[in-house]
Structure 1
Amino acid sequence: MKKILFILAMICGAQIVAQAQAPAYTIHYTRDIFMGSWEIGVPTNNDFLNKTSAAGGRFEYRHMINPHVSIGVGLSWNSFEQHTSRKTYYSKDGGSAITTDVIKDIYTLPITAGVHYYFGDPHAKIKPYVGIGIGAQYSEQDVYFNIYNITYDNWGFCVRPEVGVIMPFNENVGGFVSAAYNVSTNKNDDFNISSLKHFAFNIGLAFSVR
């Protein structure tokens, strides 16, 4: 009887030690991951508007297909706004003019399907990754001057390469940070916009579920 109790005690002790040595949380690669974040956008390529915007966000779903690769879909939005000082604007034919300050807006809504690769040990506490999303982007471009406004909307092809890191908090929740470059073919000749490009910096939470 003493031998049996001794063996049971040894087994329990080994389990306690193993649990103490195991990481508090590892990403569950048999699970789906839902991600939500605040997004900061930095326009890079158009003369129409170049002011950084903190009015943005992103939702994303990823499904792990093996310990290092996931596929999924994502939806972002950004609202860019810039004020231009008072000046005189002339019509294309030169027959009329208006002197006023101007507010310029660009709203973007990229919708992408993506694939991500996660580096290192699947059980590591910190998981760096790279990925790319491909899809379509809806955009509105607006100019407000005096009591008037001009509005255009269009769709374009969108590509979004990304790098990031997931940092687990517990068994089901983690934080993450990422940086992406959002490139789309949205075009507006009247506003001299040949494409829309911006850096996107995200900070948010990731939730894993079975």
Structure 2
Amino acid sequence: MKTAKYIRTLALCALMLGAALPGKAQLFPKTYMNADWQVGMPVDQSFADKTSGWGMNFEGGYFVTPAITVGAFISYQTFLEEIPRQTLQLSNSTVMTTNQKHALFQLPFGVAARYNWCKKSIFQPYVGMKLGASYAEMSSYYYIVRQYAETWGVYLSPEVGVSIFPNSDYRFGLHVALYYGYASNSGDLLVYSIDNCQNFGIRVGISF
């Protein structure tokens, strides 16, 4: 998808920017940025319900106090599932027999807040909350046909993580987080439907 390609390009730019920051200096003082690879595991989901590593997360914020940050985020995740050949009753007069590939693409974005500890330590843990909007797209691929449905919802995601800076002279290191995401999206496609999207996951990336 073009959206995923654009976001991967942004991730590469973030990595190059972080590597170029000299010493303890920051391009924007009192800020942080993360670029993460994201693995998601759907919860109570009947459409494209397999664990997926096709995701990324980008986040940046400002330290409004030494411990509290407020900022923005955008992430994406694609869940995939192979559906064996089956017969679908689409209407009273329409029947379809085919195998399918299901894809559920999620794109949440909005505001993020964190409470941080141990700001002078190598390990800097935090708890956070994300709140915003969520775009989701249900797709079914069969033969050479793609059918899809688009939906919007509200997104809420608590998170616990840690930033790791091995060299105290450089604010450039690793980021690891566990998260739970809830989106109120609902929609229908063929004979399938979703009623909210929930997933647990892990994020691993860079922090600066």
**Which letter does structure 2 place at the counterpart of 1:104?**
H
Matched, 1:129 2:126: yes
Q: Which runs of 5+ in 1 are unaligned?
A: 1-24
Q: CA deviation at 1:101?
A: 0.7
Moved over 4 A (4+): none
Equivalence for 1:8? none
Matched, 1:102 2:103: no
Matched, 1:156 2:161: no
Tell me if structure 1 keeps the 8 A contact 2:149–2:188: no
Tell me if structure 1 keeps the 8 A contact 2:122–2:166: no
Cα shift readout 1:135-167 (whole Å, capped 9, x = no counterpart): 001111111122333211121110011000111
Equivalence for 2:112? 114
TM-score by length of 2: 0.81
**Identical-residue share of aligned pairs (%):** 27
Matched, 1:193 2:206: no
Structure 1 residues 1-210: aligned runs within 5 Å:
31-93=30-92, 95-119=93-117, 121-170=118-167, 171-190=170-189, 191-207=192-208
Q: CA deviation at 1:62?
A: 1.4
Secondary structure at the aligned position of 1:122 is classed as coil
Q: CA deviation at 1:99?
A: 1.5
**Which letter does structure 2 place at the counterpart of 1:175?**
L
Distance, in Å, in 2 between the alignment partners of 1:189 and 1:147 is 21
Q: CA deviation at 1:96?
A: 2.2
TM-score by length of 1: 0.80
RMSD: 2.1
Distance, in Å, in 1 between the alignment partners of 2:119 and 2:58 is 24
Distance, in Å, in 1 between the alignment partners of 2:144 and 2:124 is 51
Q: Which runs of 5+ in 2 are unaligned?
A: 1-22
Q: CA deviation at 1:79?
A: 1.2
